[in-house]
């Protein structure tokens, strides 16, 4: 990648302040970027770095006014939203890094599988009987695609991804390394002797269009029917989605969250890290659940914010902790220490 500041401005729908012929060939962090790098300033807390940055081009907001002299060789590209603009630039750079199309000689592809045009199939990939891979999809090293799996167009699966039998992945999905889609759900029936009989998991997982799934996630197949992740969902690393869960459109879930079986999460929810959600619940559209919360009952009111274990409306949670602190102080017990620096 090598572009001038003027070319970047066209790509990002911005304007150049400085030398439009300044050339960049790499991306960098504002704290450490050097000559030939392009970086961005979206957070005012990082403005101090721009005055000593070695970056050749910095993407800034249109209303950015330097408080000090900028480095003499620095050129600014001014845009409406620096963060979104730089995300667009990262996407363009990522496309440059994509593998050339073709099938590696060590890949194993069943004769009945269908591979679309422009796909890149990496070393050690296995594609089983009846699988269909859409156009321009890239499968990095040691990806496994099971029987009768369907994969859409323009997908990216990183090394070690497993898509197991009969699962479906839509278009433009990205799945990070080590994630398993379609593993058996955790279903066991107790027997008279105290042991457990495994309940067969006969369903599948459906991942709709434009979903991003982080590394080392597990999305379990349904006992019957489908576990479903709707369009535009974003899941962080190390997330467990149990059998028959449904996650609504454009929901975002942070790392280490676990969702028990048959729970339905609404559209456009935001769920923090390490949240635990019990089974057979319903969570309303637009719900926001703070990190480390425990959800043991359905949330039926849309667009609320919740925290705690058990989870409660966030204002109630704050009142509860204020009352608890007052109660502890009233006991005058030296063994109960409250750090007043923690607000």
Q: What pLDDT shows up at residue 170? A: 98
Mean per-residue pLDDT for 325-334?
72
| Residue bearing tokens 């302040």 | 17
Quote the percentage of the chain above a pLDDT of 90: 87
Residue 1's pLDDT band, with cuts at 50, 70 and 90, is: low
Does the pLDDT at position 340 exceed 60? no
pTM exceeds 0.85: no
| Residue bearing tokens 């070690």 | 160
Q: What pLDDT shows up at residue 198? A: 94
Does the pLDDT at position 178 exceed 80? yes
Query: Alpha-carbon distance 187 to 208, whole Å?
Result: 25
List where CATH 3.40.1390.10 sits in the chain. Answer: 3-96
Q: Between 3.40.1390.10, 3.90.1150.10, 2.60.40.10, 3.40.50.2300, what CATH number should domain 3-96 receive? A: 3.40.1390.10
What confidence tens digit (pLDDT) does each residue in 303-315 have?
A: 999 999 999 999 9
What confidence tens digit (pLDDT) does each residue in 10-68 have?
A: 999 999 999 999 999 999 999 999 999 999 999 999 999 999 999 999 999 999 999 99
Does the pLDDT at position 337 exceed 60? no
Q: Are 241 and 259 in contact (CB under 8 A)?
A: yes
Q: What pLDDT shows up at residue 95? A: 77
What confidence tens digit (pLDDT) does each residue in 188-202 have?
A: 999 999 999 999 999
Alpha helices in the chain (DSSP H): 5-12, 47-50, 82-96, 314-331
Give me the active site residues, please. 243
Structure tokens of 310? 């058990």
Q: What pLDDT shows up at residue 100? A: 80
Q: What pLDDT shows up at residue 326? A: 81
CATH superfamily of 102-314: Hexapeptide repeat proteins (2.160.10.10)
Nearest to 165 by CA among 202, 124, 137: 202
Residue 226's pLDDT band, with cuts at 50, 70 and 90, is: very high
Q: What pLDDT shows up at residue 310? A: 95
Does the pLDDT at position 225 exceed 90? yes
Q: What pLDDT shows up at residue 334? A: 55
Does the pLDDT at position 157 exceed 90? yes
Report the chain's mean pLDDT, rounded to a whole number.
Answer: 94
Nearest to 289 by CA among 266, 273, 267: 273
Q: What pLDDT shows up at residue 96? A: 74
Residue 288's pLDDT band, with cuts at 50, 70 and 90, is: very high
Q: Are 276 and 257 in contact (CB under 8 A)?
A: yes
What confidence tens digit (pLDDT) does each residue in 91-135 have?
A: 888 777 777 899 999 999 999 999 999 999 999 999 999 999 999
Q: What pLDDT shows up at residue 254? A: 98
Does the pLDDT at position 69 exceed 60? yes
Q: Are 157 and 180 in contact (CB under 8 A)?
A: no
DSSP code per residue over 176-215 = -TT-EEEEPP--EEE-TTS-EEEPP---EEEE-TT-EE-T
Residue 247's pLDDT band, with cuts at 50, 70 and 90, is: very high
Radius of gyration of the chain (CA): 25
List where CATH 2.160.10.10 sits in the chain. Answer: 102-314
Quote the percentage of the chain above a pLDDT of 70: 96
């Amino acid at each position: 990648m090598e572009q001038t500041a003027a070319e970047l401005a066209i790509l990002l729908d911005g304007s150049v302040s400085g030398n439009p012929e300044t050339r960049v060939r790499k991306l960098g962090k504002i704290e450490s970027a050097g000559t030939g790098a392009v970086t961005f300033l979206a957070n005012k807390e990082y403005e101090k770095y721009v005055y000593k940055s070695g970056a050749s081009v910095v993407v800034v907001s249109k209303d950015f006014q330097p408080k000090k002299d900028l480095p003499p060789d620095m050129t600014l590209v001014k845009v409406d939203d620096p963060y979104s603009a730089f995300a667009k630039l990262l996407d363009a750079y990522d496309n440059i890094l994509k593998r050339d199309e073709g099938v590696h000689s060590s890949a194993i592809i069943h004769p009945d599988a269908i591979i679309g045009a422009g796909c890149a199939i990496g070393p050690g990939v296995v594609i089983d009987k009846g699988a269909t891979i859409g156009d321009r999809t890239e499968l990095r090293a040691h990806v496994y695609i099971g029987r009768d799996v369907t994969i859409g167009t323009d997908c990216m699966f990183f090394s070690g991804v497993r898509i197991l039998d009969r699962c479906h992945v839509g278009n433009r999905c990205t799945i990070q390394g080590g994630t398993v889609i379609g593993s058996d759900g955790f279903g066991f029936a107790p027997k008279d002797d105290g042991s457990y009989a495994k309940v067969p998991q006969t369903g599948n997982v459906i991942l709709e269009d434009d979903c991003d799934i982080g590394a080392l996630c597990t999305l379990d197949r349904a006992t019957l029917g489908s576990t479903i992740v709707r369009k535009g969902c974003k899941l962080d690393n190390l997330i467990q989605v149990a059998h028959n869960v449904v996650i609504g459109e454009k929901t975002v879930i942070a790392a280490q969250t676990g969702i028990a079986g048959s729970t339905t999460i609404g559209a456009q929810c935001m769920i923090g890290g390490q949240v635990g959600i019990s089974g057979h619940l319903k969570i309303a559209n637009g719900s926001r659940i703070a990190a480390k919360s425990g959800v043991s009952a359905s949330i039926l009111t849309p667009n609320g914010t919740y925290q705690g274990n058990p989870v409660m409306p966030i204002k109630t949670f704050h009142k509860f902790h204020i009352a608890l602190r007052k109660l502890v102080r009233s006991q005058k017990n030296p063994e109960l220490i409250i750090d007043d620096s923690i607000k």
